[in-house]
Amino acid sequence: MNIKIKQGNDIKVFECDKNILISDVVKKSGFYLPMPCAGKGRCMKCLVKVEGNVSAPEKHEIEYLKKIGYPNNYRLACKTFLHGDTAIELPTATNAKIITDIKYNKKTESSMKVEGYELGIAIDIGTTTIAAYLFDLSSVSLLKSTSAVNPQTIYGADVISRIEKSLDGSGHELAVSIRTELNRLISYLSEDKEIKKAVITGNTTMLYLLTERDVKSLSSAPFEADSLFGYEISAASLGIAGVDNIYLPNCIAAFAGADLSCAVLSQEIYGSKRKSLIIDIGTNGELYLSTENGAFCCSTAAGPAFEGVGITMGMTASESAIYKVWDEDGEVRYNTIGDSSAAGICGTGVLDAVATFLKLGCIDETGMINKDNNFYIYRNGEKCLKIDDGILLTQGDIRAVQLAKAAIRGGVDTLIHHAGIFAEDLDEVIIAGGFGSSMDISSAVRVGLIPAELEAKSYAVGNASASGAVMVLIDPLNRKILKNIAYDVKYLELSSDSVFSNNFIEAINFC
């Protein structure tokens, strides 16, 4: 049967067998379609316009389309089977706002000085995005940087979804998708010039999927990874062109990866006397605390709410997304990316919106929406708060934020407890990653994500993981420091930690 797929001005035509899901055809097409829930029909983000012979919609799909006012020629790609010739129109791909800012120590003390012109590349594979940096290693100068959405997002927004997909037999497809994108980024940066070496960092799951390792050890208790990397590998063995050798930095544990150890390296807190806390807020939040009593770290499943996923009007940090919300004389104001009309709201906007409605008294300390305010709307059987026409924050959205912030705050309080100190004893709180770099710290404090006594000590540092990868690239002696960081830390498994359980419950409310 004949299938035509259109996205923007691009059109591709395929021949395929009957009874195949639209989402599977899209994966093979090379077009991008978000599927944060990994095809379970929960997130409702994979809506496409369809003309042709397809399967009948399921009950919950019909109810959802009616709820949002879409005509019946729109379908969920992950639940619709192709039975004959069909034309499919995908939503226009948006360019995500990806944080590529890096700060690193350029000083090199290695005996392995680079003589003459030599190129190197540092890459940070995030669960959602990828950032890459091309360097002249002789002068330690950044020549060019670029970024992209991680193509594996079509297999699910979080690492658990991708681990499940890999276990179900899609491990090779996941590896090919990320390797193909890395090849594209490397070719763009280098303009096909030879690159001697590369450092590729990321969380443990991302490195497993890149190298096509069996993810079974990451999928069930006791979650002990059978490899924590920290070695060189031939680029050719991964199907990556234009590079000789790749160094994969040391991970700490199954869910505290090389992205965290590189972030610690970049902030130069290992071995210092400062009491420092690093928070990388994402679907899998990673925390590292350095004190005179030793170093402690943990990972906490915050979920994707801070990335706009699972939020009714949620979207990635891309064109037309509300990214900042505040109140002005009792009215709600906002800014969008690109200063265009609002199409939805991304993670930082969601955090700001909740903080703003808390300030205005529209949400109580338990997270319940109050009816007695000018922003209250009851729509489709759910309490909502109106940000603007068509842009709502639902009761369910607020609950998702509560769970996400409780996971991060619970992790922070648990690390502080096990270190035997108090929050006010900390010298600094370093917010790493894309979300943290754009987050309003006062909003984070208002909702209880960060302890109030740490507001003045908190600051963002951009992509700290990539910064650490750059430091390893420009000075190989940093590999030894990185290894020490990964080994000289006490990893706390929060799933079996009663202190975390109590802290998580206490952090649910806004207070």
pTM: 0.86
For the segment 263-307, what is each residue's pLDDT rounded down to a tens digit? 999 999 998 889 999 999 877 889 999 998 899 999 998 877 887
Q: Are residues 141 and 73 in the same domain?
A: no
Total domains in the chain come to 2
Considering the domain architecture, whether residues 244 and 129 belong to the same structural domain is answered as yes
Which residue in 56, 53, 96, 94 sits closest to 76, CA to CA?
56
User: Does residue 154 lie within any of the structural domains?
Assistant: yes
Q: Cβ distance 311 to 345 under 8 Å? A: yes
What is the pLDDT, as a whole number, of residue 109?
44
Q: Are 50 and 152 in the same domain?
A: no
Per-residue DSSP letters for 440-467?
A: -HHHHHHHTSS-GGGGGGEEE-S-HHHH
500: closest CA among 419, 412, 424, 426? Answer: 412
| Residues 77 and 175 occupy one common structural domain | no
pLDDT of residue 186: 96
State pLDDT tens for residues 356-372: 999 999 999 999 999 99
- Is there a single domain that holds both residue 130 and residue 255? yes
Same-domain status, 154 and 257: yes
**pLDDT at residue 98 greater than cutoff 50:** yes
More confident residue, 379 or 409: 409
Same domain membership, residue 81 and residue 132: no
User: Distance (Å, rounded) from C-alpha 163 to C-alpha 109?
Assistant: 39
CATH number at residue 26: 3.10.20.30
Instruction: Evaluate if residue 97 carries a pLDDT over 60.
Output: no
Q: What is the pLDDT of residue 105?
A: 64
Give the pLDDT band (50/70/90) at residue 437.
confident
In a domain, 309, yes or no: no
Domain of residue 202, CATH code: 3.30.420.480
133 and 34 both lie in a single domain: no
- My answer on whether 22 and 129 are in the same domain is no
Antiparallel, parallel or unpaired: β 284-291 and 276-280: antiparallel
211 and 158, same domain (yes or no): yes
* 226 domain residue, yes or no: yes
Separation of CA 370 from chain center: 32
The neighbouring-strand residues paired with 133 are 122, 145
Range(s) of the domain holding residue 33? 2-90
Q: What backbone phi and psi angles, to 5 degrees, belong to 276?
A: -125, 140
Per-residue pLDDT tens digits for 249-268: 999 999 999 999 999 999 99
With 0-12 / 13-18 / 19 or more C-beta atoms within 10 angstroms meaning exposed / middle / buried, residue 49 is middle
Residue 369 resides in a domain: no
Q: How far is it, in rounded angstroms, from Cα 469 to Cα 376?
A: 47
Q: Is the pLDDT of residue 504 over 60?
A: yes
The two structure tokens encoding residue 92: 């226009």
pLDDT at 329 over 60: yes
pLDDT digits (tens, 9 = 90+) for 56-91: 888 888 877 776 677 788 888 888 999 998 999 987
Whether 6 and 77 share a structural domain: yes
In this prediction, what percent of the chain has a pLDDT beyond 70? 95
Helix/strand/coil for 85: strand
Quick one: 85 and 195 in the same domain?
no
Task: Return the higher-pLDDT residue of 176 and 15.
Answer: 176
Q: Which pLDDT belongs to residue 111?
A: 40
Q: What is the dihedral of CA 61, 65, 68, 72, to 10 degrees?
A: 170
Average confidence score pLDDT of the chain: 90
C-alpha 421/C-alpha 193 separation (Å) is 51
* H helix intervals, 44-158: 59-68
104, pLDDT greater than 70: no
Euclidean distance between CA atoms 372 and 364, whole angstroms: 12
Residue 183 lies in a domain: yes
In a domain, 460, yes or no: no
User: What confidence score (pLDDT) does residue 96 get?
Assistant: 56
Q: Is residue 214 part of a domain?
A: yes
Picking from 124, 56, 395, the residue whose alpha carbon sits closest to that of residue 261 is 124
Question: For residue 94, what pLDDT band results from cuts at 50, 70 and 90?
Answer: low
236 Cβ contact list (under 8 Å, min separation 6): none
234 domain-assigned: yes
| Cα–Cα dist 137/197, whole Å | 10
Does pLDDT of 118 surpass 50? yes
Q: What is the pLDDT of residues 188-240, one digit of tens each?
A: 999 989 898 999 999 999 999 999 999 999 999 889 999 999 999 999 999 99
Q: Give dist(CA 437, CA 145) in Å, integer.
A: 18
